[in-house]
Every structure is written in C-alpha cells, then in structure tokens.
Chains A and B, each alone.
Chain A
C-alpha cells in the first residue's frame, strides 16, 4: 500500500523513513482519515514531513503520484447518470430523435465521445459549440439546444477542492531551494553568522574553569572558541541591469551580518572582473580602483565572495577587448584566475536558478575557472557556500 508513493518521496529527497511509513499505515488502520482524499493528504503530510521546507516538495510528489485519484470518485458518480440517461432515452425520446442519435453513431458512440471530451476538457466551459458546459450548442452539457444533448450533473465540488489543496502549493516559499526573499532572509543571515562564529579555542571559559576546578580539586583551565570573529571578507557585486534587485538583497544581507566579520569591503564590477572596480556605483566612472591595488592591499587570508548572474557573452571572459563597456587589455578570465591564485577561499553566488546554468556557456566558463565553487543564491546554496568558505586550505 502506497509503497510507490513512499519511494517517490524518497526520490524527491524528502527524508522519510520506514518508521514514518509504518506510522502512516497505523493511522490508516485506526481510521483517522474519513475516506476523503484531502484527509489522507493531511494525514500523510503530518506523518511524513517534519520540516516546513519540505512541504512544497511533498505537495508536488503527492500531486504527481495521486494524479487522477480525484477522478476515480468522479467517474463512479458519473456512472449512475449514464444508466439513468439510457432509461430516459428509451422512455422519452421520439423515434425521430432516436434516429438523430443514430446519425452520431449511436448511443455508445455518443457516450464514448463524451468521455473523450471530458478528458480533453479541463476547465469549466460556458457557451461555444464543442466543449461540455452550460448553455452551449454542443451535444454535451446542461441546458443545451442539441437534441442529442446529454445532461451532465454538477461536478462534485468537494473533490475539486481537494485537488486544489496540494495544487495551491502554499508552502512554496518555505522550500530550501527557492531564492532568498524577505521571509527567509533571517534564516540566511543566521547561516552566515554561523559561518562567522567559528574561530580558534583561545578564550578563557571562566564558568567552565570554575566548575572543572571544583569538580576535580585542582586548577583546571578550560578554553572555548573565541566568539568574536576573525573572518575577513571581500565582496564583489556585479551591478547594472537585471542584477540590481539581487545585488541590493545581497548587500542588505551581508551588511546585516557585518558585525560578525572583522573586516568586510564591497566592490562593484560589471559582468566580469576587469582591471578596475569601483566602490560607489553613482560615481563609478569618477572613482575607479585598480584591481591590482586591491589584490596587493588585502592579504591572502581574505575570503572572496562574488555575486553575479555570470550571464554574458563568452568573449567577455576569454578575450581581451571583449568587455561591453570599455577596452580591456586583459581578458576577464585572467583576472578571475589571478584572484583564485591569490585567495584560497573564493566563491561565486549566482541568483540564477541552478538548472539554467548549463545552458549559459559563460556560467560554465566561470564555474570552471573557480573550480566549481559557484552556488545558487538559496538557503541551501548559502549553506554550502559558507561551508566551502570556512574550509581551511
């Protein structure tokens, strides 16, 4: 029972275990859902999903596995009127009308056609001459003018609503894989901070020392990791055009985490890193900074974070003079290589959805230059990115 469903959930990376599955069966056994689809949906959701970030994935899998389930009930209710109709046909139709039905290929054909159209038709329909609905001239539907018309009872609304429950996908913004927005910015921040809190164990833990000393009877000094941070970060934002809203978000994100970093500097570039960057976007042409100066000024223990969509013409990375804005003596790729040679912790955060990356050659090139250290701008991505950054090399 529902083993298929269980397997599909596993495939979708929802952490379900046998124990939860057994609980579900037990609950079904105890007759908790009242033989309604949405009851079953609620029950299985509450047994199998334990984290709101997985709710949306669950909704999708549920919709997939039980596609058509809601129709089963509908077909059952539709069967009864079919017999009634047949009776009606024999009782009330005139010879003439019966002949007209024959012209369509007979009763059987009519019903078959009806079924076909029911399948084709997805929405409620009014007017028109083909689809099933009300007040039309199609042979199927209520209040029609076709003598061959078949009247169809109201669709059962309850079932319809049940499908909607998981099709609504109201838990979409709780998913870990979606972009960072207002709601989950806090969570993202927490993850950034987690990264920032790691340090060497070199601070005296006074309460711990007192406790240990009292316990052991001799002076036992214990140390804890320093809470204040030593992490130094250089941020490079790709600015201009479609990136602006993302950049704003990232800036807010990182400046909110600013107190956790010992030092943090922002720089802007356009599309790809070239021989100069700037610190104030309004005065980008007046106040440029030479990229060499930056590479010389900040020591190699700085961590580098690029934020950009990495979508551009491949020439902008690989050729001198490829930049869309100015004549660059050296290709952008060379600058990226220089950065990753000097700094061991370099990552690129990309707000574009991960599945689109492989279709953009420039994204591929940059990813390659940075040895695969490109992460999507999602909670999950930030998590992985911070793990990458905190690795000591």
Chain B
C-alpha cells in the first residue's frame, strides 16, 4: 500500500514519505500546518487513494477521550428499569460505541481521522496513549477487551493551539505542511480547475502572492481561499486583463471578499492600494 497523492490532491515528496511510513509502521501521523493547507482533506484523500473506509472524530473543547472508546448510557437504563423493559438485563444494550471502537471493529483496514486534537483538554492525548499504541482497550461494564482486528491508519491534525504532551509525540510521525510555493500552487490549481485559462491562473496567482506579502494582515489568504476565489472568477468570467488592470478605479482585485475575510484587512488593503495609486499618479 503506497500513497502517491490523488488526482485531486497534490502531495509533496516529504508528505508522501511521512504518510507511507505511518501506514507501514502502523503509527499515528500528526499533521500540523497553517489553516487551510489541507490537513483534514489529507485523510480523506488517503482513504480515496487506497480505497479504505474513513472514520472521522471531530474534537471539541468538551470532548473526552472516553467518548472515543465507548459511553455507558446509565440514564436510559435507569428509565428502562422503571418501565420494566427486558433490555435492561443486558448492560451491552446501553453501551454506545465510540469512533475508536468502530475503527477497531472494521473488517477492512480503516483510516481514523482525529481532527483538531489541540481543541480538547490538555490531558486528552495522554488518555489515548495506550489505546493508540496497543490498539486495544478494556470495557469495564462488560469486562471484555476490544482489540483492533486490523490496525487502523491514524491521522491526527492539530492547529497548534496547545502543546501536545511529549509521551504522545514520541509515538507519532510528524509532518508540518508548509505553505505551498508557486509551482506547487500552480499544480494544485490545475488539479482543481483543469479547464481554467492558464493566463488567468498566473495573473491571479500573482495577485494572490502579492496579497499574502502585505504586512499586518490579520488572516492571510490560504490555499482554500485561493481556490474559492478562482471559482468565483470563473463564474463571473473575469478576464486576465481585468486582473492586471490596476491604475483605474479598479484598485482592489475583483471579488476580493473571497480572499480577505476580515474587515480590517480590507481597509488596510484599500489604504495601501490608494497610496500606491497616488504614487503612480505623481511619478
């Protein structure tokens, strides 16, 4: 099993190595990077490329590690016991399987995506150490041990909001998705919009990188914003000439709302553009 990227997803050489290492050594892969560089999409694309089922566990600030294993629904059982339901005699009826359990049970080797692990409590990764390492856990209520039939490929994403514990990191492979350079970006665009006019792409990439260079932007536009913007440009039939045209009233790139999502950023950009235009007129 080898991951080589898909027709919709450009994987750089280093990312491929990291993914393949984690698949064949059966260790979790921790992926970090700027927002919008395709961390979550990666797991979906691996699943597609290698034809594996995918299970996604989105982590929130209130998520507990136990919820990934199973939950014991005591309240329903209590109610059922008062109603004299037959179900009440078996604890198993009240155990809800979590994502990890589902992944362990899967017939085909699955991909388990633990999304945004840094959102959870600081102890969360530690609580999952054993489970991810041995790929098994114990259910106290029923006294059974659930062990993985096929060790799932575990992909974990993090946005760096919290430091992860060392013991946890030691067990993972790590990859940092850096912001793609111009060539990779061109490839990514080609993959998503194969029929887009190449001139339009290069013009828009230029505008895009110029925009990213502006100091002081609160949120720099990232890959996903670029893709959205290109989609809009195509819908509106904007020509490359319109993008290049900067001296007229059109100082702001058309449909910039897709790129700049912060009011202050738009103001900043307008001011800069205004200054640039004034300089042009003077010279």
Residues of chain A at the chain B interface (Cβ within 8 Å): 15, 17, 19-20, 23, 26-27, 30, 32-33, 38-39, 42-43, 45-47, 49-52, 55, 170-171, 174, 182
B166 and A15 contacting across the interface, CB-CB below 8 Å:
yes
Number of B residues near A (Cβ < 8 Å) is 25
Which chain A residue lies CB-closest to B173?
A46
Inter-chain pairs besides A15-B166, A46-B18, A46-B29, 10 sampled, C-beta below 8 Å: A30-B25, A32-B17, A33-B17, A39-B17, A50-B166, A50-B172, A51-B169, A170-B178, A171-B178, A174-B176
Residues of B within 8 A of A49 (CB): 174
Residue numbers in A under 8 Å from B27 (CB-CB): 23
- Structural contact, B32 and A32, CB atoms closer than 8 A: no
Complex alpha-carbon distance, A194 and B166, angstroms: 20
Task: For the complex, give the distance between the alpha carbons of A38 and B13 in Å.
Answer: 9
Assembly CA distance A47 to B13 (angstroms): 15
Asked if B174 and A27 make an inter-chain contact with CB atoms under 8 angstroms apart, the answer reads no
B14 touches A19 (CB 8 A): no
Q: How far is the CA of A182 from the CA of B173 in the complex (A)?
A: 28
Q: Are B13 and A32 in contact (CB under 8 A)?
A: no
Residue of B13, B17, B166, B175 with highest tally of chain A CB at under 10 A = B17
Residue numbers in A under 8 Å from B13 (CB-CB)? 38-39, 42
Given contacts A30-B24, A32-B20, A43-B21, contact A52 B173 (CB under 8 A): no
B17 x A19 contact (CB < 8 A): no
Does the CB pair B166–A46 fall under 8 Å? Answer: no
Give, as a whole number of angstroms, the nearest-CB distance from B48 to chain A.
22
Give chain A residues whose Cβ lies under 8 Å from the Cβ of B14.
42, 45-46
Cross-chain contact of A17 among B18, B170, B172, B216 (Cβ < 8 A): B170
The one of A17, A26, A46, A51 that contacts B17, using a Cβ cutoff of 8 Å? A46
- Which B residues from 224 to 282 make CB contacts under 8 A with A? none
**Residue among B14, B169, B171, B174 facing the most chain A CB atoms (10 A cut-off):** B174
* Among B164, B166, B171, B216, contact of A182 (Cβ-Cβ < 8 Å): B216
What separation, in Å, do the CA atoms of A30 and B20 have in the docked complex? 11
Contact A23 B17 (CB under 8 A): no
Q: Determine the residue in chain B with the shortest Cβ distance to A46.
A: B18
B215 contacts A by Cβ under 8 Å:
yes
Residues of A within 8 Å of B170, CB to CB, are 17, 19-20, 50
Question: B25's contact among A26, A33, A39, A174, by CB below 8 Å, is which?
Answer: A26
In the bound complex, how far is the Cα of B25 from the Cα of A32, in angstroms?
Answer: 9
Within 8 A of A (CB), among B117-134: none
Does B148 lie at the interface of the complex (its beta carbon under 8 Å from any beta carbon of A)?
no
Q: Is the CB of B175 within 8 A of A46?
A: yes
Q: Is B32's CB under 8 angstroms from A52's CB?
A: yes
Bound together, the chains give a CA A383 to CA B21 distance in angstroms of 34
Determine if B176 and A182 form an interchain contact, defined as CB atoms under 8 angstroms apart.
no
Chain B residues with a Cβ under 8 A of chain A: 13-14, 17-18, 20-21, 24-25, 27, 29-30, 32, 164, 166, 169-176, 178, 215-216
CB distance from A184 to the nearest CB of B (A): 11
* A23 vs B173: C-alpha distance when bound (angstroms): 9
- B21 contact set on A, CB distance < 8 A: 27, 32, 43, 46-47
In the complex the two chains form, is A42's CB within 8 Å of B17's CB? Answer: yes
The distance in angstroms between the C-alpha atoms of A273 and B1, with both chains bound, is 66
Residues of B within 8 A of A182 (CB): 215-216
User: At the interface, is chain A mostly helix, strand, loop or mixed?
Assistant: helix
Expressed in whole angstroms, the Cα–Cα distance for A26 and B216 within the complex equals: 45
- Determine how close the nearest CB of chain B comes to the CB of A161; give it in whole angstroms: 10
Please give me the residue from chain B that is nearest to A52 by CB atom: B176
For residue B102, give the distance in angstroms from its CB to the closest CB of chain A.
27
| Cα distance, A46 to B18, chains bound together (Å) | 6
Residues of B within 8 A of A43 (CB): 17-18, 21
How far apart are B81's CB and chain A's nearest CB, in angstroms? 21
Q: Find the A residue at minimum CB distance from B2.
A: A32
Show 17 A/B contacts (Cβ-Cβ < 8 Å), sorted by A: A23-B27, A23-B173, A27-B25, A30-B25, A33-B17, A42-B13, A42-B17, A46-B29, A50-B30, A50-B169, A50-B170, A50-B174, A51-B174, A52-B32, A55-B176, A171-B178, A182-B216
A residues in contact with B215, CB < 8 Å: 182
Q: Find chain B residues with CB under 8 A from A46 CB.
A: 14, 17-18, 21, 29, 173-175
Nearest B residue (CB) for A187: B160
- Whether A47 contacts B176 in the complex (CB less than 8 A), given A32-B24, A42-B13, comes out as no
Given known pairs A45-B14, A50-B169, A50-B170, the reply for A23 and B176 (CB within 8 Å) is no
Residues of A within 8 A of B173 (CB): 23, 46-47
CB-defined contacts of B17 to chain A, threshold 8 Å: 32-33, 39, 42-43, 46
Q: Which residues of B contact A171 (CB under 8 A)?
A: 176, 178
Counting from the closest, the 6 A-B pairs by CB-CB distance are A50-B169, A42-B17, A46-B18, A42-B14, A52-B176, A50-B174
A182 to B217, CA, bound (A): 9
A182 to B215, CA, bound (A): 7
A214 to chain B, nearest CB (A): 14
The chain B residue with its CB closest to the CB of A27 is: B21
The residue of chain B having its C-beta at the shortest distance from the C-beta of A174 within the complex is: B176
Instruction: State the CA gap A64–B30 with chains docked (Å).
Output: 27
Report the separation of the CA atoms of residues A174 and B174 in the bound assembly, to the nearest whole angstrom: 15
Q: Closest approach, in angstroms, between the C-beta of A108 and any C-beta of chain B? A: 41
Give every chain B residue within 8 A of A45 (Cβ-Cβ).
14
Complex alpha-carbon distance, A171 and B175, angstroms? 12
